[in-house]
Amino acid sequence: MNFSSRLLEEAVSALSSLPGIGKKSALRLALHLVQDNTGKARKIASTLQELSSGIRKCTVCCNLSDTEVCNICSNPSRSGHRMLCVVESARDVMAIEDTNQFSGKYHVLGGVISPLEGVGPSDLNIGQLQERIVKENIEELIMAISPTIDGETTIYYISRLLRDSGIRISVIARGVSFGGDLEYADELTLGRSIVSRIPYQVQS
Amino acid sequence: MNFSSRLLEEAVSALSSLPGIGKKSALRLALHLVQDNTGKARKIASTLQELSSGIRKCTVCCNLSDTEVCNICSNPSRSGHRMLCVVESARDVMAIEDTNQFSGKYHVLGGVISPLEGVGPSDLNIGQLQERIVKENIEELIMAISPTIDGETTIYYISRLLRDSGIRISVIARGVSFGGDLEYADELTLGRSIVSRIPYQVQS
């Protein structure tokens, strides 16, 4: 691309370093920002600057936070459950929070064990999890981890690690999606959902 | 969405103000920036800051530029053509420059006449164009404007305005695309391309 402006070229190059944004999309975004006169570019620049300097990991659950302890861990009404929901990333915490179905605390692993990508147990926040289990007197871990090979490996690893601790480990239910068409469910999911069928309960 | 971090929420809100980026994509981008440790967020922030404070319009052709006169207008080898390529936006200058088929100067209108969107001739850089024609002794205008209703209106308006000036006005060729399938060409384009057929020349 022939740029008449070095500033524009640099903005395009920086924006196209984002995932899913190619040169052409980056150019469209940059030109939009140049033509905009509501100060969008400055706004984005300042929020990204603040984000990169201000965001940190919660020292308790390793979720993203603005403060040393995140607002879930510091919320008194969240305590007293004696269970932790173990997730892969901060994104998963948000997804579960959006469901309004869990009112306990989380623990963010920061990934899953993946030999192919060189991620071992020591790269994840598993040490902190073990410490929390003792300190917070946890009785159950809900593993809300994606049912992939790496996810299953991680669940297996953690359950082996805690085998002698007497802790209950559960995984979130797997099966066909609500509203999904059986025809389009993959074979593995459909097959497993038949094997692990659940008794039907008449809603009263 | 339930954000555990206000900084993250603000970054997502700022990023989702960009065209074509919804809340979910903005969150994906923001989380990518948080997890990245190569300083991408700072890089993007600083380039956007510089872009918004440094970019301006070339005082000659109204193209985007870092300097008072852009590098096309100040390039001595671009002078002496006595023709100007009139385009709608800086994006079009880049597209034509990428073809390497035009070595003269441009004039960027900054839009097209559009009664529906409330854009009139006075909102475009048509006054500067008239001044340039006299000052630079221009003999031909190549109208490289999109063949839409608004584009045609703009071409018509400018040609009427310059009717008595003796200037030659041409439009870029319209017809079926190279490599395109006739079957998929729209009726108007295909119909017009038959009416305005050109003599076939054997390549020697």
Residue A111 region by backbone torsions, left for phi larger than 0, else alpha for psi between -120 and 50, else beta? left
* Alpha carbons B138 and B115: distance in angstroms, whole number: 29
User: Who among A1, A5, A32 is closest to B19 (CB)?
Assistant: A32
CA-based nearest distance A138→chain B, Å = 22
| Chain A residue with the nearest C-alpha to that of B27 | A91
Record: contact B97-A10, CB cut-off 8 A: no
pLDDT mean over B158-167 = 91
Query: Which residue from A minimizes the CA distance to B91?
Result: A31
Query: What are the tens digits of pLDDT across the range A120-133?
Result: 999 999 999 999 99
* Closest CA relative to residue B30, chosen from B18, B19, B16: B16
**Mode of pairing for the β-strands spanning A140-143 and B140-143:** unpaired
The tens digit of pLDDT for each residue in B31-84 reads: 999 988 899 999 999 999 999 999 999 999 999 999 999 999 999 998 878 899
- Beta carbons of B19 and A28 less than 8 Å apart: yes
**What residues does CATH 3.40.1360.10 cover in chain A?**
57-171
Q: Where in chain A is the domain with CATH 1.10.8.420?
A: 6-54
Task: Tell if the CB–CB gap between B7 and A33 is shorter than 8 Å.
Answer: no
Task: Answer whether B18 sits within 8 Å of A32, measured CB to CB.
Answer: yes
Most confident range (mean pLDDT) of A79-93, B13-27, B71-85 is B13-27
CATH topology of domain A57-171: Dna Topoisomerase Vi A Subunit; Chain: A, domain 2 (3.40.1360)
- Minimum-distance CB partner of B48 among A4, A27, A41: A41
Measure B163 CA to nearest chain A CA, in Å: 32
Select B6-54's CATH number: 3.30.70.100, 1.10.390.10, 2.30.30.90, 1.10.8.420: 1.10.8.420
Q: Which residues of A touch B41 (CB under 8 A)?
A: 48-49, 51-52
Residue partners of B198: CB distance under 8 A and separation at least 6: none
pLDDT of residue B184: 83
| Chain A / chain B CB contacts < 8 angstroms | 182
Please answer yes or no on whether B19 and A10 come within 8 Å at the CB atom. Answer: no
| pLDDT for the residue numbered A133 | 94
Euclidean distance between CA atoms A59 and A65, whole angstroms: 9
Cβ-in-10-Å burial (0-12, 13-18, 19+) of A196 comes to exposed
Q: How many residues does chain B have?
A: 204
Could you tell me which chain A residue has the CA closest to the CA of B54?
A7
CA distance to A61, A155, A165, A193, B126, per residue, from B14 (Å): 27, 36, 46, 42, 35
- On average, the pLDDT of chain B sits at 91
Give pLDDT, residue A203: 67
User: CA of B10 to nearest chain A CA: how many angstroms apart?
Assistant: 6
Contacting residues of A for B63, CB less than 8 Å apart: 4
Tell me, yes or no, if the pTM score tops 0.90: no
Quote the distance between the C-alpha of residue B82 and its chain's center: 21
pLDDT tens digits, A35-77:
888 999 999 999 999 999 999 999 999 999 999 999 999 999 9
CA distance B137 to chain A (A): 24
Q: Which chain B residue is nearest to residue A75, measuring alpha carbons?
A: B4
pLDDT category of residue B204 using cuts at 50, 70 and 90 = low
ipTM over 0.85: no
A5/B47 Cβ within 8 A: no
User: Which residue of chain A is at minimal alpha-carbon distance from B47?
Assistant: A11
**B174 pLDDT more than 90:** no
The yes-or-no verdict on residue B163 having pLDDT over 80 is yes
